[in-house]
Structure 1
């Protein structure tokens, strides 16, 4: 499968199957893994570096770059499964709530940053945005959410 697929892949196929004849861009497995890694790291770095603009009081700049970093990190998976499958899996029942919360937080964060310009509220919304992305990502790891619940539950019981 390549970056830009034109049909969905059945659930029983390998997500990185190279045999999709309808792909318009062909990348081998190594290229896709590099694309995924680079895109994810760049997105993460943009999100982290966006916090530098908070010190200067530029709330809108912080919100835009933090959100952009999260979106780039999310889009890194298109290197592995393609954009059509990405959209399809985002709204699968197991990920729907996390996807809706994440996308809603993107919109709300940007609206608050550009209209209210409240740094603390914007920071809280960005944290919720990051947590929603983390929860969404954990749904791709077998038993990932269960492990997170167990760790958080153990920390709360202390």
Structure 2
């Protein structure tokens, strides 16, 4: 468990912490608390997405509620990882060159979904943007798994050829 804590916090085993780092480390949440809040936030994100999907079939305002809850669910799921690594480290990792395009696409589709529903009043476009949100979030999420993107690309090219 200690090794998992060190990996998630970004510290190596032999790395010594300075006085400032020790003070900041002492004032943060414990690993078990961060893990619990990660699970709670991630589960809330999944629940919002499922609730949004269920609200899709309501007459009149269903598409707006769907878009809002689905987008909030993705934001909650995305921000849940801040509990594991901390918000600053999470933002730094989000914008690393390996996942920069995926991050930009996720954020773009989150905004475009809400624009399609509230400003443009295009229901079909909102659903397309929600699907693209899902795909972008999936691509972004697998960027944290070593060689996962390569395996997905290889699998897709094998299936298509």
TM bracket (short chain): 0.7 to 0.9
Deviation at 1:96, TM superposition (A): 0.6
Structure 2 segments unaligned to the other structure (5+ residues): 1-5, 12-16
Distance in structure 2 (CA, Å) of the matches to 1:115 and 1:134: 27
Tell me how many residue pairs correspond in the alignment: 145
TM-score by length of 2: 0.80
Q: Which structure is richer in relative contact order (CA contacts within 8 A, separation 6 or more)?
A: 1
Higher helix share: 2
Q: Which moved more, 1:83-92 or 1:66-75?
A: 83-92
Structure 1 segments unaligned to the other structure (5+ residues): 1-12
TM-score by length of 1: 0.82
| CA displacement 1:29-78 (0-9 Å, x = unmatched) | 22222221221121012112201222114222211111000000000100
Deviation at 1:25, TM superposition (A): 4.9
SS of 1:27's equivalent in the other structure is: coil
Deviation at 1:98, TM superposition (A): 0.5
Q: Over alpha carbons, which structure has the higher Rg?
A: 2
1:127 aligns with 2:131: yes
Aligned to 1:5: none
Aligned to 2:156: 152
Calculate the aligned-residue CA RMSD, in Å.
2.0
